[in-house]
Structure 1
Amino acid sequence: MPQEPVFHRYVALGDSFSEGVGDPDPTRPNGLRGWADRVAEELARRDADFGYANLAVRGRLLGPIVDEQLDAAIAMEPDLVTIYAGGNDLMRPRVDLDALAARYDEAIGKLTATGATVLMWTAFDAGWSAVFGKLRGRSAIYNELVREVADRHGATLVDFWRFGEYQDLRMWDWDRLHMSTPGHQNMAIRVLGTLGAPHRIEMDSLGPDLPTDKASRRRADLAWTKDFLVPWVGRRVRGSSSGDGVSAKRPTLAPIS
């Protein structure tokens, strides 16, 4: 049987996905838990000296993730790195997918050259969304480029695009952009399964089915447009970000409690 992996230093890089937005916990830095914290908690069971850092900041594009987080992560000499990047770029009006993939390729090459196990993600399939579903073709092309990068450098791919359970809206927070607490729990299970690492994570109930009648869906869509979509578009117009003024929640390696 394959030996279960033991990691000593884990660093998470990226944007809101890895910061943990959608999984609130007021006792933690930035008021968030998230799948990466959950993964760290399980990995720490196998090493008393386990250290975990999370440099991810919501709203970051791929370029700033590389510029601000990559060298800091490498300096910590991790043996496990997770990086989710590019999702915010895909939602911009214009994006050069080849240039984006080239920048990602360079970053992944630097990470894998350290000898660390490197996990990277495809973008999720938002075909169910009336708004984000319009980016489905763009995301599919990006995913093929990401798969090529992973193959070229021997990185491990977490294929979010193929996780059919995320077609259930209850796996998403109210904004329909970030995972809910069950979504983060499920992602932690997916990541640990990809690593071949045992875990004790149990999924919370997804709760009752969401209403499917036209009137209920229309009310939900109108509330979402008012509370999320309009402010989100406003930030795009102003050139601001939800991450302005936000710092990494775990900027240095430390035990995870």
Structure 2
Amino acid sequence: MSGLFVAVGDSFTEGVGDPHVHYPNQVRGWADRLARQLGRADPAWRYANLAIRSKFLDQVVTDQLDLAIAMRPTHISFAAGGNDLLSLRADVDGIANRYEAALRRLVDTGAEVVVFTTFVPQASGLLKPLVRRVEAFNSAIRDLAATHDATLVDQARMGEYDQRALWAMDRIHMSRPGHKRMAAAVADRIGVRHTLKLSNFVPNEPSGWRAAIEAEAKFVRGEVVPLVRRRLRGEYEGDTTRPKWPDPIHPADGLKRLAAEQAAVERRLKAWGEALDRV
């Protein structure tokens, strides 16, 4: 089996939390890891990744869906809406309705569409409203996946993601092992054999209540408060970020090599632009 896999969405799909200096945007992520497995299964597989961090659902739809559909993919992954849930006044029903409209467009292409639930954070009282939104949105995604015959990867019900080792420091993005497990989960769901080796976990050690309170306070100060401040100022990393793989590539050619070639072309274009400016 071979085809064209196109990934659309936000930081979950771009690969934030899985740093790698030799990949575009300095992140790897589950989609790139899956693409490598696709290339190993059949060199004819092609892959594109349009996902950009911090994008809201409507931005993903406006900026990525038409491009993805125009490529005529056989497989599309769609993960969006998480950033909308982080807004102070999120309308979950409205988000779900717009999500369904996008999902319909993707399913109507005839491609296999892969969708995801969002992991439910284990949070203190300060973040309880977010937990309720995530749970409501996940319920909607499950219903929509069943209604529109989309392939569901239900991360919220994957018990291994209770392990801290699968999450980055911000508790929002998966860590390198988390992205690796997600790549394996997607490969399994679409029926592609993979060679990903998944490590065993050391169980989370329970901590006393004082330590738990201190850890939660540190997390809120270091991650939640800065995030809220950036949102209030309208600052988003995705505003200056470009898609990692905007045009289909053959993963079998080697993602590192392709990334190096892509970077070299960009450097030459930049140099030519600077030279023209000096004329």
State if a TM-score over 0.5 links the two structures: yes
Quote the residue 1:186 is aligned against: 181
Q: Distance in 2 between matches of 1:251 and 1:192?
A: 22
Compare 219-228 and 245-254 and name the one that shifted more.
219-228
- Tell me which structure has the larger Cα radius of gyration: 2
Q: How does 1:41-190 map to 2 (within 5 A)?
A: 41-126=36-121, 128-130=122-124, 131-190=126-185
1: CA distance, partners of 2:130 / 2:136:
10
Counterpart Cα distance in 2 of 1:135 and 1:222: 17
Q: Give the SS at the match of 2:77.
A: strand
| Alignment partner, residue 20 of structure 1 | 15
Structure 2: runs of 5 or more not aligned: 255-279
Question: 1:195-214 alignment to 2 at 5 Å?
Answer: 195-204=190-199, 206=201, 209=204, 212-214=207-209
Task: Tell me if 1:234 matches 2:208.
Answer: no
Give the counterpart letter for 1:186 in structure 2: R
| CA offsets 1:14-68 (integer angstroms, 9 cap, x no match) | 1110000000110000011111111111111232222111111110111100010
Identity, in percent, stands at 41
Q: What is the DSSP-based 3-state SS (H/G/I as helix, E as strand, rest coil) of the residue aligned with 1:52? A: strand
Amino acid at match of 1:129: A
Aligned partners of 2:123 and 2:131 also within 8 Å = no
Q: Unpaired runs of 5+ in structure 1?
A: 1-5
Q: Which amino acid aligns with 1:140?
A: E
2:32 match: 37
Cα distance in 2 for residues equivalent to 1:162 and 1:248: 29
In 2, the alpha carbon distance for the partners of 1:139 and 1:190 equals: 21
Distance 2:146 2:215 in 1: 41
In structure 1, distance between residues paired with 2:59 and 2:135? 23
CA contact (8 A) 1:8 1:50 kept: yes
1:137-194 deviation digits (Å, cap 9, x = unpaired): 2222212221222122211111112111111222110111111111111111111111
Q: 1:247 aligns with which of 225, 242, 245?
A: 242
Aligned partners of 1:148 and 1:194: how far apart in 2?
18
1:120 partner SS: strand
Q: Does the aligned pair in 1 maintain the 2:41–2:192 contact within 8 Å? A: no
Shift of residue 226 of structure 1? 3.5
The structure-2 alpha-carbon separation of the partners of 1:219 and 1:166, relative to structure 1 and needing over 3 Å to count, comes to: same
CA distance in 2, matches of 1:103, 1:166: 27
**Deviation digits for residues 90-139 of structure 1, max 9, x if unmatched?**
1111122222122111111111111111000112121x222544422222
Q: Quick one: structure 1 residues 209 and 140, their matched pair in 2 at CA, closer, same or farther if it must change by over 3 Å?
A: closer
Letter in 1 for 2:44: D
Structure 1 stretch displaced more, 209-218 or 47-56: 209-218
User: SS of the counterpart of 2:120?
Assistant: coil
